[in-house]
Amino acid sequence: MSITLRVALIIITVIYLYLIISSVKKRKMQSSIAIFWIITGILLMVAILIPNFIELISNLLGFEQTSNMIFCLTIFIAFGLIFSLTMILTKQANRTILLIQEISILKAKILALEETINDKKEDKK
């Protein structure tokens, strides 16, 4: 890796980490989810800073080519992420359904109450 490429990559990774942390600060991302992204950022940083780091691991694991390991890893992580997102989605959907149901029942109750109150007022008049 040439020095210029390495410097460029480091700058990009720093910006990446900064974006994550600032979005947590602004409460745009939950910190529990942000941990995952911060770990990926740190891993990227390590891979850039320590030369031959990735080659070492891929040799250790027995990949024929380093790029194969990276593709493999990325796909696994992406699948895991999508899987967990689907689960979160279902949970959210269930909660939304419950909310809609409860609010609708409450609204109906309030309407009925208002009507009885109005009827009583009219009776008094």
Partner 1 sequence: MKKILLIIPAYNESKNILSVYKKIKEFNKKESKVKLDYIIINDASTDNTLEICKKYSMNVINLISNLGIGGAVQTGYHYAYQNNYDIAIQFDGDGQHDINYVNDICKPLINENVDICIGSRYLDNESSKFKSTFMRRLGKNIISIIIKICTSKKITDPTSGFRAVNKEIIKLFTLDYPTDYPEPESLVNVIKEGYNIKEVPVSMNERENGKSSINFLKSIDYMIKVSISIIIDSMRFKKRRKYKEE
Phi then psi dihedrals of residue 63, to 5 deg: -75, 145
Quote the least distance from Cβ 73 to partner 1, whole Å. 31
87 binds partner 1 (CB under 8 A): no
CA angle centred on 37, ends 57 and 72, rounded to 5°: 40
Our finding on whether 97 is near partner 1 (CB under 8 A) is yes
Which listed range, 45-53, 64-72, 73-81, 96-104, lies at the site for partner 1 (CB under 8 A)? Answer: 96-104
Burial 86-121 (b: 16+ CB within 10 A, else e): eeeeeeeeeeeeeeeeeeeeeeeeeeeeeeeeeeee
- Please, what is the minimum distance in Å from the beta carbon of residue 38 to partner 1? 36
Give residues 104-123 in contact with partner 1 (rule: CB under 8 A).
104-105, 107-108
Which of 11, 72, 77, 103 touches partner 1 by CB under 8 A? Answer: 103
For binding to partner 1 (CB under 8 A), which residues are involved? 97, 100-105, 107-108
